[in-house]
Structure 1
Amino acid sequence: MTEKNLKANRNYKDTVFRMLFSDRKNLLSLYNAVNGTSYKNPEKLEIVTLENAIYMGMKNDLAFIIATNLFLYEHQSTYNPNMPLRDLFYISSEYQKLVDHKSLYSSVLQKIPAPNFIVFYNGTEKKEDRWENALSDAYETPDKEPRLELKVLTLNMNEGHNKELMEQCQTLREYAKYFALVRKYKKEMKLDAAVKCAVDECIQSGILAEFLKKNRAEVIAVSIFEYDKEEEEKKLRKAEYEAGYDDGKKLGITEGEIRKAKETAIELTKVGMAKSQIAAILKVNENMLRQWLEK
């Protein structure tokens, strides 16, 4: 099958991350590295990824249960503050699948695996090693003790970040090297040629060599899609930001005033003030305020 047909025949868009870590051995290595554990038997992982749960053309990358805990692993190449809400929808579907609905009407407490939400990020916007997004961040009215909370931990897996984690998981380390090479060659040539050069160099250097030899055509097709998607999302973010900036200029706000307003918005957000209140204080619309905070 050609690379073009591989892309055309997909019901959803896969990622190289999902292809790599759908292998139980690789997934267990990643889990051990993240959690500081030393499980040896990949069969300890119970894969529970919902194969029919597709959101915006993308499905959740990996879901699995180990030691009575449920883990949702997701890969992102662009920063997305809405991951807690997305994971809320997904974990609800997981629990619906795992729980016997009849038993919910009994007097016996139905036990469920405790959820953990982790995003593996390899974009270029964020420079931190790790950060956390909470569902309560999206609430119109902040609550110091929200009745419903969901926190997503994001780990930066670009080269030079989370060194201890990378040292503990060879597959993740080599994955980071592969995408660093794609970005390097993309500066010198067209995307499809850059991806092919990165794949060839990795094979020659022993980086994900067996995986890339076995899945060369599909990896190339998927990588091209991933990079295209990342670039399109960057363009969308830039357009949103410029729209917000233009809105500010239309209101007669100078560039310096916009910068000061952004700094104020960030500080007020840190102390828990609602976005609606901040927007009212700064005399800007909430949509523009959200763009500032996300940027």
Structure 2
Amino acid sequence: MNQSNNKFLLEERLPAREYKDRLFRMIFKEKGKFLELYNALNGTDYDNPDDLTVTTLENAIYMGMRNDVSYLLYDRLSLYEHQASINPNMPLRNLFYVADIYSTLTKDANLYGSKLVMLPEPHFVVFYNGIEKLPEQSTLQLADAFPQKSGTPKLNLEVLVLNINAGYNQELMEHCRTLREYMIYVDTVRAYAKEMPFQEAVDRAISECISTGILADFLSRNQAEVKKVSIYEYDEEKHIRQEREDAMQKGEFFKLATLVLKKYTKGLTPEETADILEEDPSLIEKIYALKQSFPDLTAEELTDKLLE
């Protein structure tokens, strides 16, 4: 695909910005910053941001999130995203996303002709900085979502996940000052958030980073927006963590309810069941009472009542 013949901007903006921007996206949607990150990742030294063609579809929302940034550079399509939580569905999301990009890139091509329509090679990278442990590098594959596999999958998509927390991928961080400073800001917010309300932590982190030259120009120009986005991302991360904790708790209660029901049907007393399972007697008594009041309750229904 000839770069000069495809110099168009694929922008379809949301009318009311229904989905908040993300800090990573705010920073790296600037062509110069994206090119810096691209060079650091690929060992290249491109220096003309105008060689980049934006392919970020601003109205493309998959599973509640927008793709962060994607650009076309000399027949190579790079799709970069930031994640603060582990998401095994990234390959599927990227499949949807790249399909839309290809559809847009080839909208004037003759897909029924005898000439092969050339496509830019896609590369998918996720920059992870969540609090859950992840290795320095890992790969997510679309094929892992297929419960039944017959030999080599006929369709696959690989996403490279790079952990950019402190101490990880140091060579990359050394070669990309903007990414390094982005993480310094994130870590500064996290540190202050342990000592004070989160909004105050963000204010303190922004002021400190500006005074020490960390993302100084960007933060100075976008203080209000950065504060809003930082608070939004914090609330979202907290919500995701709470959902996962709730799911874990529900799983534990379901397992317990299943075991207790087995003992109940065998005629064991609550005290005997609590002793065998080494569980809190008051909780076992509550399960017994629920079962006696509602004899037809399944383990799942018992779990829901326990969590009410």
Matched, 1:185 2:192: yes
Post-superposition Cα deviations, 1:244-269, rounded to whole Å, max 9, x if no partner, equal 2222223329xxxxxxxxxxxxxxxx
Contact 1:62 1:74 in 2 (8 A): yes
User: Residues of 1 paired with 2:120 and 2:167: CA distance?
Assistant: 34
User: Residues of 1 paired with 2:255 and 2:42: CA distance?
Assistant: 45
Q: Secondary structure at the match of 1:104?
A: coil
Matched, 1:209 2:216: yes
Where relative contact order (Cα < 8 A, 6+ residues apart) is larger, the structure is 1
Taking a change above 3 Å as real, the CA distance of residues 221 and 105 of structure 1, as seen in their structure-2 partners, is: same
RMSD: 1.6
Unaligned runs of 5+ in 1: 1-8, 254-284, 286-295
Taking a change above 3 Å as real, the CA distance of residues 17 and 147 of structure 1, as seen in their structure-2 partners, is: same
Out of 176, 182, 185, which is 1:175 matched to? 182
Contact 1:182 1:194 in 2 (8 A): yes
User: Residues of 2 paired with 1:252 and 1:120: CA distance?
Assistant: 42
Q: Which of structure 1's runs of 4+ aligned residues deviate more than 3 A?
A: none
Matched, 1:10 2:24: no
Q: Secondary structure at the match of 2:110?
A: helix
Post-superposition Cα deviations, 1:68-126, rounded to whole Å, max 9, x if no partner, equal 11111111111100000111111111111001365111011111111111111110112
Contact 2:91 2:159 in 1 (8 A): yes
User: Residues of 1 paired with 2:163 and 2:145: CA distance?
Assistant: 22
Q: TM-score, normalised by structure 2?
A: 0.77
Unaligned runs of 5+ in 2: 1-15, 261-299, 301-308
Q: Secondary structure at the match of 1:213?
A: helix
Map residues 153-172 of structure 1 onto 2, 5 A cutoff.
153-172=160-179
Q: TM-score, normalised by structure 1?
A: 0.80
Q: Which residue of 2 aligns with 1:105?
A: 112
Structure number with larger C-alpha Rg: 2
Contact 2:22 2:229 in 1 (8 A): yes
Taking a change above 3 Å as real, the CA distance of residues 228 and 40 of structure 1, as seen in their structure-2 partners, is: same
Map residues 1-295 of structure 1 onto 2, 5 A cutoff.
10-100=17-107, 103-252=110-259
Contact 2:79 2:124 in 1 (8 A): yes
Alpha-carbon deviation of 1:57?
4.2
Match of 1:177, as an amino acid? I
Post-superposition Cα deviations, 1:148-193, rounded to whole Å, max 9, x if no partner, equal 1011111111121110000000000000000001111111111111
User: Residues of 2 paired with 1:10 and 1:105: CA distance?
Assistant: 37
User: Residues of 2 paired with 1:234 and 1:227: CA distance?
Assistant: 11
Q: Secondary structure at the match of 2:259?
A: coil
User: Residues of 2 paired with 1:250 and 1:81: CA distance?
Assistant: 29
Post-superposition Cα deviations, 1:33-64, rounded to whole Å, max 9, x if no partner, equal 11111111111211111122123443111111
User: Residues of 1 paired with 2:143 and 2:61: CA distance?
Assistant: 24
User: Residues of 2 paired with 1:63 and 1:123: CA distance?
Assistant: 22
| Identical columns (%) | 48
User: Residues of 1 paired with 2:224 and 2:57: CA distance?
Assistant: 26
User: Residues of 1 paired with 2:96 and 2:226: CA distance?
Assistant: 29
Taking a change above 3 Å as real, the CA distance of residues 51 and 10 of structure 1, as seen in their structure-2 partners, is: closer
